[in-house]
Amino acid sequence: MTQEVNSLFTNALVLTMDPDFTQYFPGAVAVKEDKIVAVGSEDELKKEYASRAQETIDCKGKILMPGLINAHTHVPMTLLRGLADDLRLDVWLMGYMMPVEREFVSPEFVRLGTLLACAEQIRSGVTTFNDMYYFEEDVAKATAEVGMRAVCGQTVMKFPAPDAASYDDSLQMARDFIQRWKDHPLIVPAISPHAPYTCTAEILRATADVAKEFDVPLHTHLAETAFEVENMRNEHGMPVIPYVKKQGLFEAKVIAAHCVHVDTGEMRTLLHAGAGVSHNPSSNLKLASGFAPVVKMLETGLNVGIGTDGPASNNDLDMFEEVRLAAFVAKAVTNDPTSLPAPWALLMATRLGAQALHIGHLTGSLEVGKRADLILIDISPLHNAPSFKRDPQNAYAQIVYASKSSDVSDVMVNGKWLMRDHQLLTLNEAELLAQAAEIAKKIDVFLIEREQSVLSKLIALGGSLEEESFEVQVKVKIAEADPIIQALQRPEIDVIRERHYREHDVYFFFDDPLQGRLRYREDDFINDSKGTVTNVRSRLTLIGQKREGKLGDEVLLSRSRYLAPASQSLRFYREYFKPKSEVVIEKDRLRWLVLYKDTEFFVNLDQMREPQLGYYLEIKSRTWSRKDAENKAELASELLSVLDATSGEKVTEDYIDIVNEA
Ligand SMILES: [Zn+2]
């Protein structure tokens, strides 16, 4: 029995993207409410529905196909587009994105960024996107208002985030959000542990539990860089995929972004887990993350979609560009121009993408019963003419290799028009652009201020703390080490503990000496009986100017020091702080903690290896009061004579000053 329909699309080249790649030309599609009720030849559908359609759309020979699926993005980052580029992933993320996000990201920011992203994506033929960000409920609200479809993942990670002081808070936010949005017609709520390296094993397990409990997707970044995989091997003795499997992650419906560095065994693990993958060629190319084994993943049977990643690492949300790159890169990497042909590249951006997001039953192809998420593409412009009809493959090639996002003229999601003849119907672009310009101004001011001071850049990384202390330090240059080691056995000295390590200091200097100097210190602790390095400790210290000078013969000084755990590599700090020059000092240090006349001192016996400056003996103590420092300075002098080291040449400078003079 024939039914009433809302829209009848006629005179189109219909690419269904169904499992048989069925095409109809001239073809037609009938839509009733939010669903596709018929797909077929124009003749048949006209007979059936022409008299019963509220609206008949003459597609004028354009391509009618399912809307594109952006399988991985962070939509509010439209507001951070172009903020910091040409940087390595860690410097970009930890040095720029996260500090700016901590300062600026709010529900209003997220809303504006989402609206901008929706406008851009609708114009690029995207009808569904898979997102991960903070305040994800506000992403969901804005997206639903606009009328797009999205999987919205609330971020959970081990660091304090703009929307949550702790991981417990973000986990609770995710639960509440999922419960409130569980049955929404456009939004699929999800949970997003950011990545294995920004989460703990406990967080991964907890997020998988929430995803299972509510049967929602779990969206995360996996195996994006070789560095991530190498760290995982060093810390846990296995690559990323087995590690997250061990934490129970694959018990959930996983959407894994990137998977650049995975082997065939890991691909099978992903397949058995039913995990979807998002391939993000622009982001991987721009951040030089590597080349995802896309062809192998597809051969394995994985649902691999295509994503733009966030607009701050792409820098746009143009899926046409992304699909073309996916095809081109796959050909170059396999050295085979037949790899990833156009129909498959387009399939990744439609049906496979929807399947990767675990919403293949809803969208991704033009099939009866699926939601009416569809687009019209004009293939008549100069850059895409002429058209050949001999081989049905030509239509896919026209879209993948020559179409531009600006060729998308009309977009419908869930049976509702979002764009007609290039006009956005649910968004005001001019207003959104003006608001974005205002926020950009504020972020510029914030960063200009921060970049002026080494200290504020250090604080922006988080975790630093100031310490101002009095430091008693007696240092002498000595000829030999052995007599000192012997003298330490004298009865008036009580050795509490002894350490041996190689200290490797890199000092960063800046144009303005008032900025102080930054020391990256790495201590390699040595087990003397085995001669092996037992552990490595890294610290970052910003050493300010001295505030007080000498006291008598000894050095008593007060200075500010800002300590931060050096959780990143030396290379990271070098690229982040951009020092004017660097000096490296390496020494072999024997260190004793001793008790002399009821007072604790550190005795450091240093052999300067880089540069080779011989032996130095240092007696040190740090204290918080000036009075205490004066007493200790006297005792330190005494201790020097007990160690028979008073004949050595006294030095009142730090090593870096000694080295600079030498
Ligand atoms: Zn991402």
How far, in Å, is the centroid of ligand 1 from the Cα of 194? Answer: 8
| 565, 567, 570, 574 alpha-carbon torsion, rounded to 10° | -80
How far, in Å, is the centroid of ligand 1 from the Cα of 283? Answer: 8
How far, in Å, is the centroid of ligand 1 from the Cα of 309? Answer: 5
Residue 434 CB: number of other CB atoms within 10 A?
10
How far, in Å, is the centroid of ligand 1 from the Cα of 280? Answer: 9
> Which is it for the CA torsion 546, 552, 555, 560, positive or negative?
negative
How far, in Å, is the centroid of ligand 1 from the Cα of 256? Answer: 10
Which residues of the chain have a pLDDT value below 70?
A: 1-2, 463-469, 545-560, 662
pLDDT at 662: 66
pLDDT at 548: 58
Residue 316 CB: number of other CB atoms within 10 A?
16
How far, in Å, is the centroid of ligand 1 from the Cα of 570? Answer: 25
pTM: 0.84
How far, in Å, is the centroid of ligand 1 from the Cα of 131? Answer: 9
How far, in Å, is the centroid of ligand 1 from the Cα of 73? Answer: 6
| 225, 229, 232, 237 alpha-carbon torsion, rounded to 10° | 180
Q: Are 308 and 319 in contact (CB under 8 A)?
A: yes
Residue 335 CB: number of other CB atoms within 10 A?
7
pLDDT at 661: 72
- Which residue in 156, 153, 151 sits closest to 193, CA to CA? 156
Alpha-carbon gap, residue 585 to 205, rounded angstroms = 43
pLDDT (tens digit, 9 = 90+) per residue, 400-438? 999 999 999 999 999 999 999 999 999 999 999 999 999
How far, in Å, is the centroid of ligand 1 from the Cα of 308? Answer: 9
Q: How many CA atoms lie within 13 A of 129 on its CB side?
A: 34
How far, in Å, is the centroid of ligand 1 from the Cα of 221? Answer: 6
How far, in Å, is the centroid of ligand 1 from the Cα of 175? Answer: 22
Tell me how far CA of residue 319 lies from CA of 279, 282, 399, 512, 659, in angstroms: 12, 10, 11, 46, 56
pLDDT at 660: 74
